[in-house]
Amino acid sequence: MSYRNKNNAHNMRSVNFVCDAPQAQSVALVGDFNNWNAHSHPMKKQADGAWLLRPELKHGHHRYAYLVDGVMTLDPRAMGVTRNDKNERVALIAVS
């Protein structure tokens, strides 16, 4: 799940990504914005077991997914669904 904080200039916005995976050992955020790199956006485990990351993203629409223990996982609360260049189902978010 994600929502938007409008607090930055230069068409960048801080966006909250929350992945509910209390049993996972590692969770990373991958998407168009990091070339689906499994290492550049690791998420941090919270006290309630959810994983959180607050990256800054450009205005516009982005494709993303969570890597839960290395497994590509669709955000069940995503605003949209599409496929990436590898034809995997991924989530969509609008940043404005």
Partner 1 sequence: MKTPTVRRKASALRKRRASSGASAGKIHPVVIYPFRQSESYEDLRQLYAMVARLTDNPEIYARPITVVDRKTYYANAKNKHFADFRKNTVEVTSDILDAWCVDTCQMWYSGLGMAYERGGPNDVYWLIPGDFNYGSMVGHEVLSQLHDLPEICVELQQDVCIGEIATDHNNPKQIIDTYGTFALLYHWFPNQAREIREYTERPRSEFFAMRHAFLGEMLNRRWYAYEQTVVTLLYAVFDKKHISRFLVGHVSDLPEGRESVSSAMQQLDRTERVLKTLWRERNQSLPDWTKHYRVLESQSDQVRRTAMTILENLLS
Query: Which residues are near partner 1 by CB under 8 A?
Result: 11, 58-61, 63, 79-83, 89, 92, 94, 96
Nearer to partner 1, 44 or 81 (CB): 81
Backbone φ and ψ of 12, nearest 5°: -110, 145
To partner 1, the closest distance from the beta carbon of 31 in angstroms equals 12
- Residue 50, classed as helix, strand or coil, is strand
To partner 1, the closest distance from the beta carbon of 87 in angstroms equals 9
Closest CA to 64 of 53, 51, 74, 77: 74
Nearer to partner 1, 45 or 61 (CB): 61
The length of the chain in residues reads: 96
Nearer to partner 1, 45 or 78 (CB): 78
Neighbours of 82 (CB within 10 A): 11
